[in-house]
């Protein structure tokens, strides 16, 4: 007996990553029997009460012509449906930025992390630009929906950090809300040594001071030497 096969899509358009369910039905105009067998979409599906369905969530952006082929059985001949178009649009994304060291010190390397999330899962590709206000800190590619940028050039003060994602063929770009990065002056330590200790009355003694910054190198400045609270001298 000839079989008539038709396919419908549950939701169209969908966005990238959103599941779309395709339902194929076998009918006969003059035979009341129940067809059995299989229906082929992109994989096999078993008929149940004249119909079979297949859910796809990996369709890329674009128009997808979908049809179904019925295998037939002892009473029903094979049949192929006409095509139905499943339209898939680009999905919106959300982007978030976080700092690994906040507050930080001047000269300290700060790890900034951006995460891009499509609404139905999947992997976003492309790149993310990190911004300090309107100043670009750098652009780096995504790796598994995340990316990291190390910045050690922050000046002392507060910085408004955002991340901007450009999007790709399947998802739209998005920008994060701002995170305030606080940068404090770098801690320093000073050690002093003497070239003659103990010394004798009237002997010339040379004192040397070394300045160590917690991050980076301390810039040129002046150092004052004291005997208790009495200033001995200030040198560059």
Condensed to tens digits (0 to 9), the pLDDT of residues 3-12 reads 577 778 777 7
* CATH 2.60.40.10 residue spans of the chain: 4-89, 94-184
Residue, of 182 and 28, whose pLDDT is higher: 182
The pTM (predicted TM-score) of the whole model is: 0.76
pLDDT-based confidence at 32, cuts 50/70/90? low
Q: Residues 161, 181: contact at Cβ < 8 Å?
A: yes
Secondary-structure percent of the chain, ordered helix, strand, coil, rounded to 5: 0, 55, 45
For all residues of the chain together, what is the average pLDDT? 88
Q: What is the DSSP letter of 90?
A: P
**Which residue is listed with tokens 């010190």?**
105
Q: Residues 53, 23: contact at Cβ < 8 Å?
A: yes
Structurally, at CATH architecture level, domain 4-89 sits in Sandwich (2.60)
Interval 143-171 mean pLDDT: 96
**Which segment, 114-118, 207-211, 232-236, is predicted with the most confidence on average?**
114-118
pLDDT at 17: 87
Residue 81: pLDDT over 90:
no
Residue 29: pLDDT over 80:
no
What class does CATH assign to 94-184? mainly beta
pLDDT at 132: 98
pLDDT at 6: 78
- Quote the CA–CA distance of 214 and 109 in Å, as a whole number: 12
Residue 86: pLDDT over 50:
yes
Burial class (CB within 10 angstroms; exposed 0-12, middle 13-18, buried 19+) of 70: buried
Condensed to tens digits (0 to 9), the pLDDT of residues 164-218 reads 999 999 999 999 999 999 999 999 999 999 999 999 999 999 999 999 888 877 7
């Amino acid at each position: 007996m000839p079989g008539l096969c038709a396919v419908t899509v549950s939701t169209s358009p969908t966005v990238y990553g959103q599941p779309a369910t395709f339902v194929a039905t076998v009918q006969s105009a003059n035979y009341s029997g129940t067809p059995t067998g299989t229906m082929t979409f992109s994989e096999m599906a078993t008929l149940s009460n004249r119909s079979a369905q297949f859910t796809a969530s990996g369709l890329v952006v674009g128009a997808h012509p979908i049809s179904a082929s019925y295998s037939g059985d002892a009473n029903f001949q094979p049949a192929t449906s006409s095509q139905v178009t499943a339209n898939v649009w680009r999905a919106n994304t959300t982007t978030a930025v976080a700092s690994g060291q906040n507050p930080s010190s001047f000269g300290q390397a700060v790890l900034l992390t951006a995460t891009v999330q499509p609404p139905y899962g999947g992997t976003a590709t492309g790149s993310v630009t990190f911004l300090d206000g309107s100043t670009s800190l750098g652009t780096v590619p995504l790796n598994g929906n995340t990316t990291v940028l190390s910045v050690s050039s922050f000046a002392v003060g507060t910085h408004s950090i955002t991340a901007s994602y450009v999007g790709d063929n399947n998802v739209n770009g998005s920008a994060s809300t701002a995170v305030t990065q606080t940068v404090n002056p770098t801690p320093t330590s000073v050690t002093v040594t003497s070239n003659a200790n103990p010394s004798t009355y009237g002997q010339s003694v040379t004192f040397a001071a070394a300045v160590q910054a917690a991050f980076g190198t301390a810039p040129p400045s002046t150092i004052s030497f004291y005997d208790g609270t009495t200033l001995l001298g200030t040198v560059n």
